[in-house]
Chains A and B, each alone.
Chain A
Amino acid sequence: MRTRAESYEQRLERVVLNPLSQTTRGYKLFVLSLLAVVGWGLYAYYIQLRYGLGATGMRDVVMWGLYLVNFVFFIGISHAGTLISAILRVTQAGWRTPVTRMAELITVVAISIGALMPLIDLGRPERVWELIAFGRFQSPLLWDIVSITSYLTGSLIYLYLPTIPDFALMRDRLGYYANPVKRLIYTVLAVGWRGTPEQHRRLEKAIGIMAITIIPIAISVHTVVSYVFSMTLRPGWNSTVFGIYFVIGAIFSGIASILIVMAIFRKFYHLEEYLTERHFRNLGYLMLVALFIYLYLTFGEYLTVAYKMQVEEKHLLETLFVGSNALWFWFFVIAGLVIPALIIILRKGPVIPRMVIAAVLINIAMWIKRFAIVIPSLQVPLMPFDFGAYYPTWVEWSITAGAFAGFILIFAIFAKLVPLISIWEVAEGARETPQPRVATLVEQSGMKPEEIEALLSKAVAEKGRSRVEQ
């Protein structure tokens, strides 16, 4: 048993650390192409700086556009991480360990990109310091700034703490023959971690505290993002449900992003052994729960409005349901709610591709849903005139593409610096689990991890049944 566990740990280290020491050509090409897209986005931003926001499709009636949509979307994704991993940690869901690191990473990167969006949207970006110097707390925008910065700080700490033992591991393993700079970085980041029981105890405690603190912060972030909209007297925005609506939407799209990221790294970094079908299935169910809550809130939101049919709300519903925005709205309903729900519930076909398809659909649909939240409410005329029009220009699309590329780029670079799976936690989990691990079975039988997973869960189910019968 002991030798097996050790060999498991060794292999864990080898597989997880491998991507950090080797860089393939494909990776370099990928990073280069991402850089190109980011560069193009920067060029577009330069154009916008030079000509002003007139380079965008926004005008006096529809005065917010894609940037705000992206803002809500990225902040939404950022909920993936911290909130989910913190909740899972607090509820001690054992299966979460290999997932948490990636989820936390998504949070940090998404929140950084998301927070840039309103800054890009400013007409006078050179005056952004005034937000600190003259900030008024009566403005929901200030609430945003406060809670987003605390969320970013909290998430960075929460990402860093569980990484300390892994930094120490890399200091001991990689730093040996790597260049001194790298070694120095890892040494500094490992803050003298030696793995003593006292250190372990303290670390666990710190992580525990962070896991609990981060939950209210995470909820506050998306709540105040929604307040930017719901503090105004606009049809569709002027709603009390917006806080929770945005939080649930964020969790929903957050889980979907974790699933996508997991699937990608599982494939390219050969993490099949650690990210098993069980993880995809469990996260899929979590996503289904979020989907149903979101569906419920969407339904309630539009039904209460549609029943009363106030003039401005009526205009909004017309443009959403049958008018110029109907395509977006119904795409969201079908591709974002109905199809993913069916895919998850019907359980036809292999788990991982199913979950990934559902997750991709959900993320696209949720971006569109944010569009359908932000834009149509602005198009509705508040004075006796016609609907406003909004056609994003290439500048906005380029900056949006640049933001997405930047998101992937930072993620790809991070993946080279930090092990994407928390080695010490997974190893610990393996040590604590009395049953034979999938890993050792893979070693012995040469079967695929999925097959063994299936066999195991069947065995566990049978065991449970026999216990009940006794």
Chain B
Amino acid sequence: MQEKEKGLNRRQFIKWSVGAVGLAAALTTPLLPVINQARSAGSSPETPAKEAPAQPDKKKRAWCMIIDLKKCEGCVTIGAPPQCTMACINGHFTPKGQQWIQVFQVELSNGGKFFMPTPCYQCENAPCVNVCPVAATYHNEDGLVLIDHDRCIGCRFCMAACPYQRRFFNWTVPELPPEAAFAEYSPLYPVPARKGTVIKCMFCGHLLHDGKLPLCVAGCPMKALYMGDFDSDMATNGAEVVPLRQFLKENDAYRYKEALGTQPRVWYLPGHGQAFGRTTDDPREFKTPVWSWGGDGFEPRPGIWPWGKEIK
């Protein structure tokens, strides 16, 4: 018995050390290159004098996202589906029909409309975390709301509890492109999606500590999305770095359905794409996202017996 345990430990030790070497290799690549780049470009005059810590990968963070609706024009200018959604779909192989960041067209009382991209809000008082019976949904130390897909029993109580409908369920085995199979699963990077479990946006937690921006933030051609960290009080959209709290204050930031008390970590800066000349009655058509690998998603419903249509 003793022997066996030792053997196991040795094996684990080898595994870990290999992993550690790999991790160290990954970490030697420049950290927070985007923020540093942006800072060296000196695009923001308000850049705080104090430098960001040298080893941000180890540091606890308080991530948040800022969505500047003044700049979001639903990608109608480039006549394409919303690029944030497309970046997320292609980067995470999200099953067809799941838009982890979905761009809603919100009607205004004056008859016009504006666009509202909605990722999971990573609520601080998250109803979905509260109700999960097996702690499959949890807060990590950076404040992200993650899902452990090895734990989730698929009760969908969290979906009932989420007041923003930001959770999705893998109703059957999802149709994914072949390359999805090579992805290495972690709750921070839930790829490939698994049948019978709940899935959602996780703020691209797998990229943040490597100093990379979330795919949707990087993918937005209008630079309307910012990733921020309350601990270092900075946010960036990849082109500029802004002092987070001041930026929120100066731009009348609000959170969606603030009154519910869920305390989302996503702030909106009110607007309707005016930064790119869009008016609220802009007639240009919004394009819905497409899945390059095709398939029916979870759409087909089973036929009457005898089994009408095979669902894949």
Contact = CB atoms under 8 A, between A and B. Distances in A.
Contacts of B169: 53, 59-60, 63, 123
Interface stretch (B11-19, B22-30, B62-70, B128-136): B128-136
B105 interface: yes
A201 to B, nearest CB: 44
Contacts of A60: 97-98, 159, 165, 167-169
Contacts of B284: none
B197 A135 contact: no
A378 B156 CA distance: 12
Given A141-B133, A233-B260, A122 B164 contact: no
A295 interface: no
Contact of A141 (B151, B157, B164): B157
B298 A59 contact: yes
Interface stretch (B31-39, B184-192, B301-309): B301-309
Contacts of A382: 163-165
Contacts of A54: 171-172, 298, 302, 311
Interface in A50-66: 51-55, 57-61, 63-64
Interface string A190-209: 00000000000000000000
A410 interface: no
Contacts of A55: 172, 302, 311
A378 B301 contact: no
Nearest to A229: B160
Contacts of A51: 172, 302, 311
A161 to B, nearest CB: 33
Contacts of B104: 383-385
Q: Which of A125, A131, A141 has the most CB of B within 10 A?
A: A141
B106 A63 contact: no
Contact of B195 (A59, A123, A138, A381): A123
Nearest to B154: A123
B267 to A, nearest CB: 17
A54 B280 CA distance: 39
A134 B135 contact: yes
A130 B302 contact: no
A231 B161 contact: yes
Nearest to B173: A52
A173 B247 CA distance: 87
A59 B171 contact: yes
A27 interface: no
Interface in B134-180: 134-135, 151-157, 159-161, 163-165, 167-173
**B interface SS class:** loop
A1 B219 CA distance: 95
Given A52-B195, A384-B107, A118 B168 contact: no
B62 to A, nearest CB: 23
A105 to B, nearest CB: 30
Contacts of B307: 47
A391 B311 CA distance: 17
A229 B159 CA distance: 12
A142 B153 CA distance: 13
A63 B172 contact: no
A171 to B, nearest CB: 44
B56 interface: no
B118 interface: yes
B211 interface: no
Q: Which bucket holds chain B's interface residue count?
A: 35 or more
Nearest to B127: A233
Given A130-B134, A136-B134, A384-B106, A53 B154 contact: yes
Contacts of A231: 130-131, 161
Contacts of B304: 394
Contact of A383 (B98, B118, B159, B173): B118
A128 interface: yes
Contacts of B164: 382-383
Contacts of B204: none
B241 interface: no
A124 B197 contact: yes
B264 to A, nearest CB: 13
Contacts of B198: 123
Given A383-B165, A393-B302, A52 B118 contact: no
Contact of A232 (B116, B151, B161, B196): B161
Given A53-B169, A55-B311, A63-B159, A140 B131 contact: yes
A464 B311 CA distance: 72
Contact of A139 (B116, B131, B301, B311): B131
Contact of B156 (A64, A134, A229): A64
Contact of A127 (B132, B153, B156, B298): B153
28 contacts: A52-B171, A52-B195, A54-B298, A54-B311, A55-B172, A55-B311, A58-B171, A59-B298, A60-B167, A61-B165, A63-B169, A64-B160, A123-B170, A124-B197, A127-B134, A130-B134, A131-B133, A131-B134, A134-B134, A136-B133, A139-B130, A139-B133, A141-B133, A234-B163, A381-B165, A383-B165, A393-B301, A393-B302
Interface of A: 47, 51-55, 57-61, 63-64, 118, 121-125, 127-128, 130-131, 134-136, 138-142, 228-229, 231-234, 378, 381-385, 391, 393-395
Top 8 nearest A-B pairs by Cβ distance? A123-B154, A123-B196, A54-B172, A54-B171, A141-B133, A139-B133, A52-B172, A233-B163
Interface of B: 97-98, 102, 104-107, 116, 118, 127, 130-135, 151-157, 159-161, 163-165, 167-173, 195-198, 260, 262, 298, 301-302, 304-305, 307, 311
Given A55-B311, A60-B165, A139-B131, 4 more contacts: A53-B172, A57-B301, A64-B156, A232-B131
